Structure 1
Amino acid sequence: MVCCGLATLDLAYVVARPPLVDEKVVARELRVDAGGPALNAARTVVALGGRATLVTALGSGPLADLVRSRLGGVTVVDVAPGDHTPPVSTVMVDDSGGRAVVSTNATRLGSPAPVSLPSDADALLVDGHLMTTSTALAASAGGPPVILDGGSWKDGLERLLPRVSVAALSAAFRLPDGDDALTGVIRRGAAAAVRTHGPLPVEILSAGQLRRVAVPPADVVDSLGAGDVFHGALAFALARGAGLDDAVAGAVVLASESVRHPGAMGWASGA
C-alpha cells in the first residue's frame, strides 16, 4: 500500500490543561515522535502486518533523520529537495486526552520530485498535503482503491476528488461553499464518503444510502493520531478486499483502542 502526504516531527507535551494567554505551565511529560496523517497511516498498516510505502517530503538534516528513525518497516520515497526540513508540530495533550496542535505543513515544499505508483500497489491513501504528487499518483492508480484522509479542505481537492474511491472526512471538514460534506464530496466526484465524529457514530454514504457505525466506548488517554489510525486501518482493509461497511467497522474498533494509549502508535507497542 502507498500512503502519500505529510510527515512531521511531533513534540507532544502532557499537561493538566493548556496555558492561558501570558501563562506558563510545566509539562508532566515530553514525547518526541514522528507524525502526520499519511505517516501514521503507513505505520498503522505495518503494525497490522501489511507493507507500506510512504511518499512524503523529508529532506535532510537532524530533524529528517529523527523522523526516519521512527519509520521502522516503512519504505520511504522522499520527494523533497535535499535542503528541505520536515515540519515540526507542537502538541499539548491534557487530562481529558484531548489535544491542541500548532504546526506548519508542506506548503513550503515548492516543486516535489516526480514519482510513480508501484505496479503492485493495492491501495493509495492520500492526505492532500502533497496535492500535486497525490493527484498524479491517483491518476495513475487504475484499479486499486484511492482513499482520501480529509481532515480539512485543501486547494486542489476539486481535481483529486474525481479519482477518490472513499473520501474519509473528519468532523471538522468543511467545503468552501458550505455544502454538506458527505453529499458534497460525492457530488464533486468521490465514489463514497465516510465521516467521523469523535465518539459519535461514523457516517457512511455510498450508492445513495446513509448508514451509521457505532463507536465503542473508550477511556481516553490520548486522542492524538486516532484519526490517522482509523484511516490507515480503513485503507488496509479496503486493500485486502473488505467491503466499505466492514472496513469502517474494523477501523473504528482500532481507533477506539488507540485512544486508550499514549501517542499515535502506543496501541501497537502496548504502551
Structure 2
Amino acid sequence: MSVQVVCIASWNADLVSRVPRPIARGETLLARSFEISPGGKGSNAAVACVRQGARTAVVARIGRDEFGAMALELWEREGIVTSQVEQADGERSGVAQILVFDDGDNSIAVAPGAGAGLAGRHVEAAAALLAGSRVVMASCEVPLAATLAAFRVARAAGVLTLLNPAPAQPLPDELIALTDVLTPNQTEVLALAGVPEGTPVDEAARVLLGRGAGAVVVTLGAAGCSLWRLAEPCVELPGWAMRSVADTIGAGDTFTGALAAALARGEPLEQAMRCANAAAALSVTGQGAIGGMPSLPEVMALLARRGG
C-alpha cells in the first residue's frame, strides 16, 4: 500500500512527572503523579499526521525491549505503516524524562537509545517508500545523516520535505537547502540562524531563507505562527484561546504532523498552516504527547469557528 507521508522517526517512552514548578539545581521536589506514555518527536508527528487522515509510515530504529514493544503496539493501533522499522537486539529504546509544571509548561531530557543508530542504510532500504510519498518529514531527534539521506531521495523524486529542527542544533547548508518547509519555534529560529538572542524573528527567518530553505514557518506557542518566504510578505496567524490547558507536551509535534497531512492533501501552505495551528491548539487540552491530538473533523470544526 502506498503512503502519503513518511516520517524519519524518533521514538521515546515518555517518563512524565508532574511538579508545581521548575526544579533548581541540587533541589529535590515531590511530584504529585508519574506516568509512562508514548513519545518521541517523530512518532508523535506521525500519530498526529495519521489522525489528520494521511496514510503514514515511519522509518525508525527501536530496541527489542518493553518500550520498543510499546512503540509497535501504538503504531499498529493508529494504523501507521511499520515495514521500515528495525528492532535492535541488546539495545534500549529511547526515553524522555519530562517534568510538567502546574502552568502546563515542561522541561524534557531525551536519551535516544537505539534511535541513535538510525542511518543511511535504513533510508536506502526505504527509498521506494520515500519516493512514492507526497511528504517526507523529520526532526533533529534523529541523526542528521539519516535525515539528509532521506531528503536527498525526496528531492530527487519531487517529494516535499518538512523539517522540525528540534532540538535545535547547527544544520548543514545542504540540509537546509533540501528543506521545503522548516518549522522552528521562536527560540530555535534564532539558534539555527546563528543570530544573537533578541534578534527579530523576521531577520532570523530571512537568514534561513537565504541559506536555501523554501519556507520558514515559525511556531509561537499560544501566539500562533508566522510564515516567511522569499519576496513575499509575512503571513501571521493568531493563536487559539483554549478554555483548559492540560499540558503543552507534543503541541509542536502535533503542528508538524498536521501540517504534513494537510500538505499531503494538496492544501496550499497557508491553509495547511491554519490546520496545523488549530490542531496544535486542540492538542494542549489533553494530557501527554498524544492524549489531546485531534482528528481531522475536530480540526475542521475549530476552524469553522474562525471562518476557515
TM-score normalized with structure 1 length: 0.90
Of residues 235, 249, 255, the one that matches 1:211 is 235
Residue 55 (structure 1) aligns with? 59
Of residues 155, 158, 183, the one that matches 1:143 is 158
Following superposition, the deviation at residue 89 of structure 1 comes to 0.7
How far apart are the structure 1 equivalents of 2:288 and 2:183?
Answer: 22
**Contact 2:224–2:240 under 8 Å retained in 1:** no
Q: SS where residue 57 of structure 1 aligns? A: strand
Point out the structure with the larger helix share: 2
Following superposition, the deviation at residue 268 of structure 1 comes to 4.1
Query: Structure 1: 5+ residue runs without aligned partners?
Result: none
What letter is aligned with 2:117?
L
- With over 3 angstroms needed to count, the CA separation of the structure-2 counterparts of 1:26 and 1:112, relative to structure 1, is farther
Residue 11 (structure 1) aligns with? 15
The answer as to 2:136 corresponding to 1:124 is: yes
How far apart are the structure 1 equivalents of 2:128 and 2:41?
Answer: 19
**Contact 2:61–2:118 under 8 Å retained in 1:** no
Overall identity of the aligned pairs, in %: 24
How far apart are the structure 2 equivalents of 1:220 and 1:242?
Answer: 29
Following superposition, the deviation at residue 176 of structure 1 comes to 5.9
Of residues 265, 285, 290, the one that matches 1:240 is 265
What letter is aligned with 1:130?
P
The answer as to 2:140 corresponding to 1:133 is: no
Alignment of 1:24-103 (within 5 A): 24-71=28-75, 72=77, 73-76=79-82, 77-79=84-86, 81-103=88-110
Following superposition, the deviation at residue 117 of structure 1 comes to 4.5
How far apart are the structure 2 equivalents of 1:262 and 1:5?
Answer: 22
Residue 300 (structure 2) aligns with? none
Of residues 258, 274, 288, the one that matches 1:263 is 288
The answer as to 2:181 corresponding to 1:166 is: yes
**Contact 1:81–1:112 under 8 Å retained in 2:** no
- With over 3 angstroms needed to count, the CA separation of the structure-2 counterparts of 1:117 and 1:147, relative to structure 1, is farther
Q: CA RMSD in A?
A: 2.3
Q: State the aligned residue count.
A: 270
Following superposition, the deviation at residue 258 of structure 1 comes to 0.7
What letter is aligned with 1:147?
L
TM-score normalized with structure 2 length: 0.80
Residue 121 (structure 2) aligns with? 113
**Contact 2:206–2:230 under 8 Å retained in 1:** no
Residue 255 (structure 2) aligns with? 230
How far apart are the structure 2 equivalents of 1:58 and 1:37?
Answer: 14
